[in-house]
Structure 1
Amino acid sequence: MAKDLLLTLEDTPGEGARVGEALGNAGVNIEGLCAVVRDGRSIVHVLVEDVPAARAALDGAGIRVEGETDVFVSSPISDNDMDTPGRFGTLARALGDAGINIALVYMASGNRIVLATSDNARAQELLQSTM
């Protein structure tokens, strides 16, 4: 099962390369990635399948994993459906109407959506019927 790993890096050239190289050298594929810079720091979310290998590789590169989150990763969504205006609004509305809060969302490889919610199991059930 894929998990989201939270990293905080310096906002300097080469930090992304350190993450990619550490994971790549360990044979860990990055399934999804989201990074945002704020106040001189990069907040990075990395989706990986092999969490123990990813943690070991990042630790070996001096990169601390600050958090690990259970996420729901959607099935692949067709290009036509993914690129439809309002698609995310429809998905988010279905969750909101069900009282499910979205804590984290980003795109993953293969036209998949990564979500961490207040109820991942219920979110997965709801979204499978709308995707």
Structure 2
Amino acid sequence: MKPALYLAAVLLTACSGEAPAPDVAVQDAWVRATLPGQSVGAAYLTIANRGGGTDRLVGVSTPAGNAALHASTMDGGVMRMRALDGLDIPANATVDLKPHGTHVMITGVAQPLSTGQSVPLRLTFERSGVRDVTAAVRPGNAL
């Protein structure tokens, strides 16, 4: 067999198998309480991928307002925030969405989010589909 044909056969064989599947679970979801009249909130959570395949968080929604992924970073002593179009969830890894880092920004909050309440969140993953979780509302100074 010619080297080019052999290489093509090897590559086709390698590509014919299915990619390992992710095994995504969402844990410890919480939302920071808001003050009356405050229309912006934030949600935090942990995403554990126990599977051998990568995944990507591509959407977040909540009936509490408009939800979007954001990342906060310090730049010259100034906190900057930017919207994300998705978040990679590596195989066999845990990704934390936490204060002062990557989080879910909730805008257009019509009613105050009070400590002790809960907020439903719907997370959409590229490979794992939809995960519905309930986020507990914690005090505004919670970390």
TM-score by length of 1: 0.24
Question: Relative to total residues, which structure has the larger strand share, 1 or 2?
Answer: 2
TM-score by length of 2: 0.23
Question: Relative to total residues, which structure has the larger helix share, 1 or 2?
Answer: 1
Higher Rg: 2
